[in-house]
Structure 1
Amino acid sequence: MSKSALDKDLKRVSGLEVATHDLGRKLSAPGIALVFLLAATLWASHVVTDIQSGYLVVIAAVIAGYMALNVGANDVANNMGPAVGAKAVTMLGALFIAAIFEAAGALLAGGDVVNTLARDIVAPGTHLDDMTFVLVMMSALLAAALWINIATYIGAPVSTTHAVVGGIVGSAIAAAGLYAVTWQNIAMIAASWVISPVLGGLFAALALALVHVTITGRIDKISSARLWVPIFVAAMAAIFSMYLATKGLSRVWKPENWMVVLIGIGFGALGWIIAMPLIRRRSLTIENRTKHVASLFRVPLIVAAALMSFGHGANDVSNAIGPLAAIVDRLGAHADHATVGIPFWVMAIGAVGIALGLALFGPRLIRTVGEQITKLNEIRAFCVALSAAVTVLAASALGMPVSSTHIAIGGIFGVGFLREYWQRQVLEFSAVPRHARHVDPETLNATPEEALARSRKQEGRRLVRRRHILSIAAAWIVTVPAAGALSALVYVVLNLVMR
């Protein structure tokens, strides 16, 4: 055999090995997910022996596990995406941190809002027998999971809460008609499509403007950072402590408003005391440049992302296991409880499923949120995380429905558009841009009008990718009706098969 023929054969073998390896990697994630669903099936089969129609609970447990995987794959990206996009933490580190804190939040403080899923949507007085109720919940859960799976595949971050709401609406209408739905609450949810991203964007832009005025816009950035970074850390500690006291830990502890304020003041002071010496020591080793000063926000950003993951796990685990818990409660107790009790095994399926979904399928959405909308650094990502907590607190105080997913995405767009505005102000009112590395030689030889038009076009593309606005907004708007239509179809099929 000639040497050239041998080289060709070796290349073919090498290519086959690479292709086999890539195929194995692509199949490993679904394989692990299937093992998890099998384990959920066996566990549910073991614990429902004393429940009437236990096979229905087992089926619901598998669907809930599938939903939990999708919640982890899609929703968690909003918490960790900015930190990864800012290069504050690696993808592996983000997955590790988020998986731990999501699971901890779900197990320790999750499930407080489970009882609201059905009762806030299904109109009072609507009678659903046990079988119909179970089929409505199963259809809603399966339809929401399928829709989120599709959204994750196309790279669109959507609200898992809205998907579940849409699913319940669709199956309830299919089971009992249009009057079975409390349409006022659905209208409030639809209003949150606008309220959530707008508030998130405004608060994030305001936070970034404050950092610019107090630190990055000053000549002596290091001295300003020594004074103001601990203050921003204190604000973060205060806001997140109040956020966790009111939202993340509401299942185990519901403090009064005055106690929440005291908690915020106490943790804010503690954050300032801890940050002062650390920031001062770190500032001695950096240069007087925005890039170096931004590194002072790295640790606070990671802490904020972890706390957001804990709060998300505590609140949004109900999207995965809420309908399952309602089914277990209905078939096990046959009582109209004010709240739905949640067995540990149900919480465990949700917690483990979210962590696994994040680890197996989350990186794609994390990159979309953190890298493909606008360029982030530690400061901008910190402002996004801070905005999310502030918006949730403000909306809760005012009684407005908001989506954490929409808030985070709105915050990212907010800091991006603010930076574009600053760029345009520099071009309009300065003879020479502040950063020489952004100067286009062709712009220098053009008329002022041509330079302004060219720079606006180039900077607009570079700072915020417009195409993501339309695709993400479309996914948000379509989520409720799409999940509803799919849920109605699933209900019809299940009603024919299981009756």
Structure 2
Amino acid sequence: MSNTPERSWKTLNKDLERITALEQATSHISRPLVAPGLALAFMALTGLITAVLIGFDPLGLIVVAAAIIGAYMAINIGANDVANNMGPAVGARALTIGTALIIAAICETAGALIAGGDVVGTVSRGIIAPEAVAETQVFIWAMMAALLAGALWVNLATWIGAPVSTTHSIVGGVMGAGIAAAGFAAVNWPMMGRIAASWVISPLLGGVFAAIFLAIIKSRIIYRPNMIEAARTWVPILIGIMGGCFATYLAIKGLDKIYKVSFGNAVMLGVVIGVVLTLLMRPVIRRQSAGLDNRKKSLKVLFNIPLIFSAALLSFAHGANDVANAIGPVAAIVHAVQDGGASDRVGIPLWVMLIGAVGLSVGLLLFGPKLINIVGNEITRLNAMRAYCVALAAAITVIFASWLGLPVSSTHIAIGAIFGVGFFREWYHERVLRENRLDTTSPPEVRKRKKVVRRGHFATILAAWIITVPSAALLSAILFYLLNLIVI
């Protein structure tokens, strides 16, 4: 009988251990479901608020459905596209992933609300002719199908770890719905040709510009006898170039909704800011570099702050521009339901803009880390100098493409710049530094480590880019046919 309490305690301990193990297992299983659950809650809240604002009649429920799909698209844009802006800074260890997410959420939301604009082309920038979908029901289902198809494709791309263009996804969706609604003649094929050309041109330009700036940094700073002294000369110039380029970039792509600036004036603004910033940064860099050791790792300190600012500015411009991919079709559907038929341009109500702005932040906070890690760490190794080249190349390529009138993707540019940095490093080490990176005697794992660009990611991303528009178009056409069975 004396052992009974001891046995009871042992039994109780075993039961508590089982309960603890069960709780841990349940927590481990349910953790991956938290982010999707919060995303669904945001979509449900969006639908409820929209229903209160619009009403519960049949036409109002169509707007509710569009708002929910728009929220879903905004979440996916935040999850996929934020990596282009924050990935390089995180990969260079200039920002922790938590800090990057907070900065991106603030800047994306600010860009969407401050500079996102109040007007958008409802037929996605001339992809299909408005008269081809003039009937109200046809237009509504075409926009709904395009939006849902684009969102589903971006969601799939994020899941497999491929950064794709959300702009091209929605363009493919509009094209597919337009073909399903009115045939191939409804599509503006010259515009589609320009978009297809940008698939090749924009990543190549991004890669070339990034490689050029990395070559300058290597030749003028890194491989100099006194790196710190060379940095005192060149880093202020490089920061001035970055500041000038971002001033031009924001004037062209981020602030034109607030105040219209011509291309020439935007460039002049950039030149003035670049010169002023160069002069201001000279004493700052001299103070920062005081006491630094003459080695490459010391240079990171001088590039960290410009890199953080560039990531924030890219996020602001992205929020200003790409929010239209999520809420443009929603605004078009609201206009069609309230006023009837398609229109070339419609105003975006504030509540619709809020869906896009908040949705971007929800997506990047819940799902952004996966793509940030791939872009920042898994394509090629980035340090502060290489990440700086990527950010600067992204801004310059957008400016250059705007001058040429090319519709480009920020995703393609940023990823192209990262690959450009990686391939340039391979070439530089093999041809300039004469390192033997093509040996056939070392084990395969050693030879693989000597390649600084991971070919597997290159193939996956390239394949995803190629099939984005046709896949979104096919999915949109199928969805349009299914939606058209519903009678308003």
Aligned residue for 1:85? 91
Q: Is the 8 Å Cα contact of residues 70 and 149 (structure 1) preserved in structure 2? A: yes
Q: Map of 1:347-496 to 2, 5 A cutoff?
A: 347-425=353-431, 428=434, 457-461=447-451, 463-496=452-485
Q: Does 1:278 align with 2:284?
A: yes
Of the three residues 213, 228, 238, the one matched with 2:234 is 228
Residues 478, 2 of structure 1: CA spacing in aligned structure 2 closer, same or farther, 3 A cutoff?
Answer: farther
Select which of 13, 17, 40 maps to 1:34.
40
- Mapped pair 1:328 → 2:334: yes
**Residue 3 of structure 2 corresponds to which residue in structure 1?**
none
* Cα drift, residue 160 of structure 1: 0.3
Task: Give, in angstroms, the shift of residue 456 of structure 1.
Answer: 9.4
Alignment-derived partner of residue 64 in structure 2: 58
User: What is the RMSD computed on CA atoms of the aligned residues?
Assistant: 2.6
**CA-CA distance at 1:37 after TM superposition:** 1.1
2:309 counterpart (290, 296, 303): 303
- Structure 1 residues 231 and 112: alpha-carbon distance in aligned structure 2, compared to 1, 3 A threshold: farther
How much has 1:5 moved relative to structure 2? 8.7
Where does residue 67 of structure 1 map in the other structure? 73
**Partner SS state of residue 340, structure 1:** strand
Query: How big is the shift at 1:291?
Result: 1.2
Contact residue 200 and residue 414 of structure 1 kept, 8 A: yes
Distance 1:270 1:498 in 2: 61
Give 1:116 deviation, angstroms: 6.1
The one-letter code of the counterpart of 2:227 is K
Name the SS for the 2:485 alignment partner: helix
Shift of 1:139: 0.5
Give me the whole-angstrom Cα distance separating, in 2, the residues matched to 1:478 and 1:449: 35
Q: Over residues 65-113 of structure 1, what are the superposed CA-to-partner deviations in whole Å (9 max), with x where a residue is unaligned?
A: 0100000000111110111111110000000000000000000111477
Corresponding residue of 2:223: 217
Report matched runs for 1:233-252 at 5 Å: 233-252=239-258
Q: 1:278 is aligned with what amino acid? A: V
Q: CA deviation at 1:13?
A: 4.0
- Could you report, residue by residue, the CA deviation over 1:303-345 in whole angstroms, capped at 9, with x for unpaired residues? 0000000000000001111101111222333476553211111
SS in 2 for 1:114: strand
The answer (yes or no) to whether the contact 1:427–1:452 under 8 Å persists in 2 is no
Q: Which shows bigger deviation, 297-306 or 489-498?
A: 489-498
Question: How far does the alpha carbon of each residue in 1:379-426 deviate from its partner, in whole angstroms, 9 at most, with x for none?
Answer: 000100000000000000011221110010000000001111122125
Counterpart in 1 of 2:294? Answer: 288
Q: Distance in 1 between matches of 2:239 and 2:179?
A: 48
- Corresponding residue SS for 1:219: coil
Q: Given that residues 240 and 307 in structure 1 are in contact (C-alpha distance below 8 angstroms), is that contact kept between their aligned partners in structure 2?
A: yes
Q: Which of 272, 275, 282 pairs up with 1:269? A: 275
TM-score, normalised via structure 1 length:
0.90
Q: How far did 1:213 drift?
A: 1.6
State how far apart, in whole Å, the 1-side matches of 2:207 and 2:356 are: 30
Provide the rounded CA distance (Å) in 1 between the counterparts of 2:298 and 2:473: 49
Cα displacement (A) at 1:38: 1.8
Q: Which runs of no fewer than 5 residues in structure 2 stay unpaired?
A: 1-6
Indicate the larger mover: 13-22 or 198-207.
Answer: 13-22
Contact 1:214-1:224 at 8 Å conserved across structures: yes
Take 2:57 and 2:349, find their aligned partners in 1: how far apart are those partners?
13
Identity of aligned residues (%): 52
Instruction: Report Cα offsets for 1:256-282 as digits up to 9, x if no partner.
Output: 234213311232133224322221111
- What's the CA shift for 1:451? 6.6
Residues 122-271 of structure 1: pairs in structure 2 closer than 5 A? 122-123=128-129, 125-271=131-277
| Gap change, CA 1:26 and 1:334, over 3 Å in 2 | same
Residue identity opposite 1:479 in structure 2: T
Aligned length: 482
Q: Does structure 2 conserve the Cα–Cα contact (< 8 Å) formed by 1:199 and 1:407?
A: yes
Higher alpha-carbon deviation: 116-125 or 27-36: 116-125
The farther-off stretch of 12-21 and 390-399 is: 12-21
- Measure, in 1, the Cα distance between the counterparts of 2:88 and 2:18: 41
1:114 paired with 2:120, answer yes
Letter in 2 for 1:364: K
The AA in structure 1 aligned to 2:447 is K
In 2: Cα distance, 1:259 partner to 1:374 partner = 37
Alpha-carbon separation, structure 2, partners of 1:116 and 1:222? 53
Question: With structure 2 as the length reference, what TM-score do the two structures score?
Answer: 0.92
Q: Deviations over 1:150-200 (max 9, x none)?
A: 111111111000110111111111111111111121121111111111111
Matched residue type, 2:85? N
Paired residue secondary structure (1:400): coil
Name the CA distance, whole Å, in 2 between partners of 1:481 and 1:67: 18
SS in 2 for 1:413: helix
Q: Distance in 1 between matches of 2:95 and 2:41?
A: 29
Equivalent residue for 2:324, pick from 306, 318, 324: 318
Letter in 1 for 2:291: T
Separation of aligned partners in 2, 1:208 and 1:333: 54
Q: Measure, in 2, the Cα distance between the counterparts of 1:59 and 1:132.
A: 16
CA separation of 1:278/1:25 partners in 2, compared to 1, >3 Å: closer, same or farther? farther
Which amino acid in structure 2 is aligned with residue 182 of structure 1? N
Q: Is the 8 A contact 2:332 2:342 kept in 1?
A: no
The Cα of 1:42 is off from its aligned counterpart by: 2.1
Distance 1:360 1:449 in 2: 43
Partners of 1:114 and 1:322 within 8 A in 2: yes
Structure 1 CA distance for aligned equivalents of residues 65 and 448 of structure 2 = 53
CA distance in 2, matches of 1:239, 1:51: 50
Q: What is the Cα deviation at residue 43 of structure 1? A: 2.1
1:8 to 1:368, Cα distance in 2 relative to 1, 3 A? farther
Q: Secondary structure of 2:347's partner?
A: coil
Three-state SS of the structure 2 residue aligned to 1:362 is helix
- Secondary structure of 1:59 counterpart: helix
Letter in 2 for 1:485: L
Q: CA deviation at 1:56?
A: 1.5
CA-CA distance at 1:15 after TM superposition: 3.4
1:128 to partner: Cα distance: 2.6
